[in-house]
Structure 1
Amino acid sequence: MNSHRQIAQAMERAVTVLTRRPDHGLHDDASARACWQGGTRITSHHACGTSMDTDMPVELGGSGDKVSPGWLFRSGIAACTATAIGMVAASEGIALDLLEVTVGSRSDTRGLLGMCGTDGAPIPAGPMEMELQVRIQAAGVDDARLRQLVDDGLRRSPMMDALRRHPPTTVAVQVDGHAVG
């Protein structure tokens, strides 16, 4: 595991390069490929060879023995936020003693099932609300400074940015190898 100094040095090198060559900052992110395994079991793959199974809870037809895609979403937000906060701390020479990010949400299962509310409007399938809880400690650093690190990390977290900004999303569909509509 890299120290906060090593992380800061790596970030400084990246800033130096991207200051000279800003065009190198824009890149395609590694794709995530999800493959249906039957039922509600899905295996997601990363180009590096890592794979992860998800499944739905028993009450929604799954086995309940794997994490759900929704949990993976919250886990990704928590990990991305913690990473961004840690990087901000490292860049400012602050050695963290504790950093823990917990992401919770409240959802209405009726949305996933395609149901409508009493007003006839479709119920959203995604979370109705989300909450992030951040625990952070660093010896000799005051509370206000640590709060600022969290705020800066939240602004720099790519996943938090995507949630706030709603980037355009396109969907390409293929049926039997042919593009459809």
Structure 2
Amino acid sequence: MSIEQIAAAIDRVSAALHRKPQAGVHDDSAATARWGGGLRTQVHSDNGRSVATDMPAEIGGGDSAMSPGWLWRAGLASCAVTRIAMLAASEGLRLEVLEARVTSRSDTRGMLGIAEADGRLVPAQPLQVELHVRIGAPGVSAERLRALVAAGAGCSPVTCVIEQPLPVALHIDVAA
């Protein structure tokens, strides 16, 4: 789609949601992961798409696919780029460069449920996350591009769920 088509689509949806705000609330497509043996999974969406995951060999995986943690970083990077591109299109900006790189630092002990010497559990989540965005648009000031990135990343659903976490409601069905 061209930036004009993207902007027109966003304008149509925005106008409809201003008239009828409740129409914006919806159930998202579920992600259903099925164990594939070892530490491998196959994750399916409601529309039939799927992605495989596996863990590194160092912790018992087969290293045959990307890890769930990498997919999380990929989701953060791609969601930020998508939201920034949407905002740029809405503002009529023609981007020449837009990429995001997500880095994180983790302690594997947390995922394995290992405690510190004092008995405190090591956190399972990353200890640090960084979103690096590279952007360029001809004739657009660096200040405007920085503001665009900040605004776009600030409305990225994946960024927001990390910065403003929600509790996960755990439901367990035991198979017979």
**Which residue matches 1:52?**
51
**Which residue matches 1:125?**
124
- Give the secondary structure class of the aligned counterpart of 1:173: coil
Structure 1 length normalisation: TM-score? 0.95
Deviation of the 1:147 alpha carbon:
0.1
Structure 2 length normalisation: TM-score? 0.98
| Deviations 1:134-175, CA, capped at 9 Å, x for gaps | 000001101000000100011110011111111232111001
**Which residue matches 1:146?**
145
- Paired with 2:167 and 2:62, the residues of 1 have a C-alpha distance of 34
| Deviations 1:29-65, CA, capped at 9 Å, x for gaps | 1010000011100000011111111000000101112
Residue 176 of structure 1 aligns with an amino acid whose one-letter code is A
| Gap runs ≥5 in structure 1 | none
- Paired with 1:119 and 1:81, the residues of 2 have a C-alpha distance of 38
- Paired with 1:157 and 1:105, the residues of 2 have a C-alpha distance of 18
**Which residue matches 1:164?**
163
- Paired with 2:136 and 2:13, the residues of 1 have a C-alpha distance of 27
Identity across matched positions, percent: 47
Residue 10 of structure 1 aligns with an amino acid whose one-letter code is A
RMSD: 0.9
- Give the secondary structure class of the aligned counterpart of 1:93: coil
Residue 147 of structure 1 aligns with an amino acid whose one-letter code is R
- Paired with 2:22 and 2:134, the residues of 1 have a C-alpha distance of 36
- Paired with 1:13 and 1:169, the residues of 2 have a C-alpha distance of 33
| Deviations 1:5-24, CA, capped at 9 Å, x for gaps | 11110000001111111110
**Which residue matches 1:116?**
115
**Which residue matches 1:41?**
40
More divergent stretch after superposition (167-176 vs 19-28): 167-176
Structure 1 runs of 4+ aligned residues shifted over 2 Å read none
- Paired with 1:155 and 1:66, the residues of 2 have a C-alpha distance of 30
